[in-house]
Amino acid sequence: MNTPRRATIADVAQAAGVSKATVSRFFNHRERLLSDDIAARVEAAIAQLGYTPSPMAQALSRGRSRLIGLIVADITNPYSVAVLRGAEKACQDAGYLVMLFNMGNETGREREAIDALAGYQVDGFILNTLGRGAGVVDAVATHGKPAVLVDRRHAGMTADFVSLDNPGAMARICAHLLDNGWRELLYVTEPQQGVSTRRERAAAFGACLAAHPTALRGEVFESAEGEDEALVQALRALRRRAGRSRRAAVVAGNAVITLRVAQAMNRLGWQFGQELGFLGFDDPEWASLIGPGLSTLAQPTDEIGRTAAGCLIERLHGLEGPAREMLLPGRLQVRGSSAAPIKAA
Amino acid sequence: MNTPRRATIADVAQAAGVSKATVSRFFNHRERLLSDDIAARVEAAIAQLGYTPSPMAQALSRGRSRLIGLIVADITNPYSVAVLRGAEKACQDAGYLVMLFNMGNETGREREAIDALAGYQVDGFILNTLGRGAGVVDAVATHGKPAVLVDRRHAGMTADFVSLDNPGAMARICAHLLDNGWRELLYVTEPQQGVSTRRERAAAFGACLAAHPTALRGEVFESAEGEDEALVQALRALRRRAGRSRRAAVVAGNAVITLRVAQAMNRLGWQFGQELGFLGFDDPEWASLIGPGLSTLAQPTDEIGRTAAGCLIERLHGLEGPAREMLLPGRLQVRGSSAAPIKAA
DNA sequence: TTGTATGCGTTATCAT
DNA sequence: ATGATAACGCATACAA
């Protein structure tokens, strides 16, 4: 069973009794210049040999590869995966293949990732990375390939940007909590540390408080990985602050925090919506299963991914113009954890 | 800001005052044949120009690409993602890049996926697909590239296979339930329909029952997507069968089913470990949060991914020999949902 | 409309 | 030990 070598363009040319150029034209400039007679012969030869052009060779020759490089900060993150899913589908539908690079949360490998992908002549990048590594901006610039940023901006980088409308989402969250009688809020976020999304959301939370200076009171708490005890204490403090007269709720800044807060509540033996209100982020699959149900702000992850891929592909098709910013609206999924107190009948 | 074209091997050759062949040798056959003098000059030129060989061109020339094609049936599936994660890391560590193809659960696109990836000269495949599409076997064979199967076998295909040790896992599950006094079991699985894992697990469940003909009684129930009502009825029937004297528990066949059963229990308003025992699969993040905690059989997903990648890379390095079968043990994570009844003190 | 020749960036086979 | 030169599979400028 020796290797029945893939048919090449030369094989087809020979079988059809034409030149390689003609075969190439059959694929690239068909209608424009090719006689029916020859076209038919080429087509037959192609069918007979089961010929498919080698994308590798095409890439080398054209300088374009129909490959899109997707760099993800951490593929463990369900958000990243959800986006990846949407993007991958859109790319496939447009005839592009995705090359995946997972950084495993190791900041600083960004440059390495970009270079590796660029080596394979990817036509463009979709970046969902931390945005801390300095190299990214000029790494992308160097290769002169278009890129689109997902969820996280990169300082000084001018590229299409796709993300949740954070201010809008946070406004909706706060309005909902306000409506339902929650007065003392705690916004829990991962360390903000130069990650644009986290800063934006925290800022938006602050803005909401400022908009209701008398009704709402709130603080921001940064919860780092592994420091579970600190979070538990923060929740205790929150309840203490609220006292008997005000109802207290916690708002999670992303899916990781949502889980972490849920675990902390579990440790405390507190019920959502009872001892503490809770509004999570990213609508995990278990939101409806736990206690009275977890209210969440669901991101349109699939659409974010599709939009990002769409933006990039438009650029690849030649779209010029300034960097765009696509902010997609979130959806408030109300469940029991943020419900208004039951009025005495 | 015009494109500062990537340096090529020719540029380096010129800068160093040598031939392209020499530069190529510097990378590929360094020690064997190269004078110190020349090597130094080449090295300097490379550093100065920041030259990196083009993987594309290398692939074209060598016929190998240092690319690994990873085909996933459904990237929505957390199991697939977890495996992907492990595999991706192992590939990266070994200097390979992963090209991802998600089939979005569309059986029949398998052949298309393989061909697309093969076009890019991937050196080998990691397949986590349904194994129903007929094309796969000979698609892979055609391209003459090694492949490793993850989690799902393909009929008639002889390739390395990596998966959970299903019989072992199921035996452990049943033994645990037996020890804790659960007597009437229901095994819930997605439609078995030619998917090897599902069949294997269901068979293993049957074997466990057979091993304890007097103590244990059980049935298998296939739960299809969207048919939630049927599942609810099945749980009701299970309890009825058990009656007052025997305690009944449900065993989930995978993560999807685990979630589905949890939702059904939620609808029924039943407590895990109370009305019904429950043993889930795949240890989702919410397992510890829900009710008394969900007992699960956790798969070593990361290790499965790493092992799969490792197998493939060994083959790429020339390992011959018959197809191997690597069955990794699962870990029983005991929580409240399968606890023994509380003895009256 | 079609064929010829050259280039894309490497590696490998020859010579030297 | 080093340098020409021919592949690798395709696209394209130029000729015809």
pLDDT digits (tens, 9 = 90+) for B49-81: 999 999 999 999 998 999 999 999 888 888 898
Range of A34-43, A139-148, B293-302, B314-323 with top mean pLDDT: B293-302
Cβ contact (<8 Å) for A102 and B115? no
Say whether both B205 and B266 belong to one domain: yes
Q: Tell me, what's the pLDDT at A139? A: 75
Q: What stretch of H or E contains B257?
A: helix B255-268
Q: Which CA-bearing residue is nearest the C1' of D2? A: B22
Contact yes or no for B146/B302 (Cβ under 8 A)? no
Residue A275 in any domain: the answer is yes
Cβ contact, residue pair B55, A120, below 8 Å: yes
Residue type, A159: A
Q: What is the pLDDT of residues B232-269, one digit of tens each?
A: 999 999 999 999 999 999 999 999 999 999 999 999 99
Q: Which nucleotide is nearest to B22 (CA to C1')?
A: D2
- Same domain? A175 vs A291: yes
A293 and A318 fall within a common domain: no
Q: What residues pair up with A67 in beta bridges, in sequence order? A: A97
User: pLDDT-derived band of residue B344, with 50, 70 and 90 as boundaries?
Assistant: very low
Identify whether the C-beta of residue B184 lies closer than 8 Å to the C-beta of residue B241.
yes
Which one, of A281, A59, A47, lies nearest residue B57 by Cα?
A: A59
Q: Are A175 and A144 in contact (CB under 8 A)?
A: no
The CATH number of the domain where A235 resides is what? 3.40.50.2300
Whether the CB of B100 is less than 7 Å away from nucleic strand C comes out as: no
The separation, in Å, between residue B133 CA and nucleotide C10 C1' comes to: 37
Q: Which residue range(s) make up the domain with A173?
A: 166-298+332-338
What is the layout of strands, in order, in the sheet containing A67-72? A325-328, A160-164, A147-150, A124-128, A67-72, A97-102, B97-102, B67-72, B124-128, B147-150, B160-164, B325-328
Q: Note whether A182 and A292 are same-domain residues.
A: yes
Residue of A71, A83, A92 best to disrupt the B interface, most CBs of B under 10 A: A92
| List of A residues 303-332 with CB within 7 A of strand D | none
Are residues A259 and A319 part of one domain? no
Q: Are residues A211 and A258 in the same domain?
A: yes
Render pLDDT for A65-107 as a digit per residue (tens, 0 to 9).
Answer: 999 999 998 888 888 989 999 999 999 999 999 998 988 888 7
**Polymer length of chain B:** 345
Within window 59-88 on A, which residues have Cβ closer than 7 Å to strand D? 60-62
Query: What's the total number of domains in chain A?
Result: 3
Residue A241 lies in a domain: yes
Is residue A59, in this structure, part of any structural domain at all? no
Residues A131 and A181 in one domain: no
Cβ atoms of residues A134 and B136 within 8 Å? no
Look up the protein residue whose alpha carbon has the minimum distance to the C1' of C9: B57
Q: Are A52 and B115 in contact (CB < 8 Å)?
A: yes
Q: What are the φ/ψ torsions at residue B206 (nearest 5 degrees)?
A: -60, -40
Domain assignment present for residue A60? The answer is no
Residue A233 lies in a domain: yes
**Together in a domain, B200 and B97:** no
Q: Do B104 and A89 touch (CB under 8 A)?
A: yes
Does residue A117 form part of some domain?
yes
Whether B33 CB is under 7 Å from strand D:
yes
- Decide: CB of B61 under 7 A of nucleic strand C: yes
DSSP string, B133-153: -THHHHHHHHHT--EEEES--
Q: What is the pLDDT of residue A1?
A: 39
Is the residue at B60 inside a domain?
Answer: no
Q: Please report whether residue B200 resides in a domain.
A: yes
CB contact under 8 A, B88 and A81: no
- What is the band of B323 on the pLDDT scale with cuts at 50, 70, 90? very high
Work out the number of other CB atoms within 10 angstroms of the CB of residue A112: 16
My answer on whether B33 and B44 are in the same domain is: yes
**Whole-number average pLDDT of chain B:** 91
Residues B270 and B306 in one domain: no
Residue of B72, B92, B122 to mutate, interface with A, max A Cβ within 10 Å: B92
CA distance B69 to A291: 42
Is the model more confident about A344 or about B29? B29
Contact A67 B92 (CB under 8 A): no
**Lookup: nucleotide whose C1' is closest to B60 CA:** D8
Q: Residue B281's pLDDT is what?
A: 96
Measure the N-to-C terminal CA separation of chain B; round to a whole number of Å. Answer: 81
* pLDDT above 70 (res B1): no
Give the mutation candidate from A65, A88, A97, A260 for the B interface (greatest B CB count, under 10 A). A97
Asked if A123 and A207 sit in the same domain, the reply is no
Same domain, B263 and B192: yes
Q: Which residues of chain A have pLDDT under 70?
A: 1-4, 133-134, 343-345
Q: What is the pLDDT of residue A32?
A: 79
